[in-house]
Structure formats: structure tokens, C-alpha cells
Amino acid sequence: NAGVTQTPKFQVLKTGQSMTLQCAQDMNHNSMYWYRQDPGMGLRLIYYSASEGTTDKGEVPNGYNVSRLNKREFSLRLESAAPSQTSVYFCASSGSSPLHFGNGTRLTVT
Amino acid sequence: AQSVTQLGSHVSVSEGALVLLRCNYSSSVPPYLFWYVQYPNQGLQLLLKYTSAATLVKGINGFEAEFKKSETSFHLTKPSAHMSDAAEYFCAVRVNAGGTSYGKLTFGQGTILTVHP
């Protein structure tokens, strides 16, 4: 089925380790987004890419970097993970339609 | 800056009862408003959206919402709850005022809906 695919589904990191969360969409959408979800706080935008070749900071970008590899793929990198980055991360995409979300990556930093 | 407030982090209803989930927004420009639903261990799915057309918006699964500018509200309702409606619901407002980008959304804190037999 068409949609947004995120990998991995689960990850446990130690403080200071790095990792990249992968996201790919097959709906030919121009825009892609990374959100984090924390209990009682809804979803907060980390970074977004309005179109291929552009990226911009969202509400909570500190500690993260992103790469829009091509139109399909948008990755999120944690260079030095911290316990405060324990969260569920959602990738989403949109064209002329509202957001389509992936199923999330549950990240725990110990 | 746009923002949304969802009143009530938990709502509990009996099966067959009315569902009412409250959302108030703040926006300096005419808003686009959305309701999303999240089932356990899944991503968010769009229930319905308001984009300045009809003020009463019908969505999937029997849900609807009414945009009331005078009350800055966009409450979600369903006449008769079903067990399968148990999930977390998020209200959201679009941040940027122009263009076709739907993605820069500001989300409310979420409301967990429990449905009792």
C-alpha cells in the first residue's frame, strides 16, 4: 500500500550514541516532516522540508539534523543522543493534501 | 502565532452515548483546522478538516465538527459512540497563512477517548 515508511520501529540507545531514523514516501509528495510525540504534549515539529533540496527548523530542532536525500526520502539524525530525546518520532508527508503519517519509531535513550 | 487547546486529556463515554471532544484555537489569520485520530501503536489518521468552506464538516467513521469563529472553537462530535472509537484524538491548526502546505501543523495535547460497554 502507498504511504510513509519509517525504520526502525524501535530503538534503544545509550547516552552519547548516534543514529539515523529513516523515512520514505511513495506518494510523490513535495513536503516532508519530522515530529516527536511526548505524553501530554501532542506532536511537535522538529524539522521539515518544503521541497527537495530545502530543509527548515521547526519548533524543537536542537539536537537533531536532517537530510532530504531525494524527493522520496527524509532522514533524521541524532548525533549525540540524550535521555530528553526519548520519544516517539513520526515522519509525515504532504502534497496538496493534509499530512500522511508513518507508524512511528519508538526511541529510548538510557 | 497559532495554537490549539484541547479541553480534557481524558474523556469516558458509554457505548451509544454522544461523543464530544473540545478544541479551541488561537489564530491571527483565518485558520485551517484538523482532527486526527491515533490508534495504539499507529500513526495519526485524518478524521476531517476545515478549510474555510462549510462550517459543519463531516469526516470518516461518523464524526463531524463545527467551526465557530465567534467561539474560536472546533469541537468534534459523534452521535453514538462505538467501542472501536477508543483512541487518542488530536486537534491541529495550520501554521502558515498561505500556499498549499498542510504540514506545518500545531497540535493540541490530545484527548484519550475511552468507550465503556
- What are the pLDDT digits (tens) for A30-68? 999 999 999 888 999 999 998 888 999 999 999 999 999
Q: Do B42 and A4 touch (CB under 8 A)?
A: no
Nearest CA in chain A to B108: A42
Spatial contact of A50 and B98, defined as CB atoms under 8 Å apart: no
The pLDDT of residue B31: 85
The pLDDT of residue B101: 55
Nearest CA in chain A to B44: A101
Residues 6+ apart with CB under 8 A from B68: B55, B74
Cα–Cα distance measured from residue B109 to residue B4, given in angstroms and rounded to the nearest whole number: 8
Q: CB of B100 within 8 Å of any CB in chain A?
A: yes
| Cα A61 to Cα A7, A33, A46, B71, distances in angstroms | 20, 12, 5, 33
* Minimum-distance CB partner of A31 among B49, B101, B108: B101
Q: Do B44 and A101 touch (CB under 8 A)?
A: yes
Which of B65, B72, B54 is CA-nearest to residue B19?
Answer: B65
Q: Is the pLDDT of residue A3 over 70?
A: yes
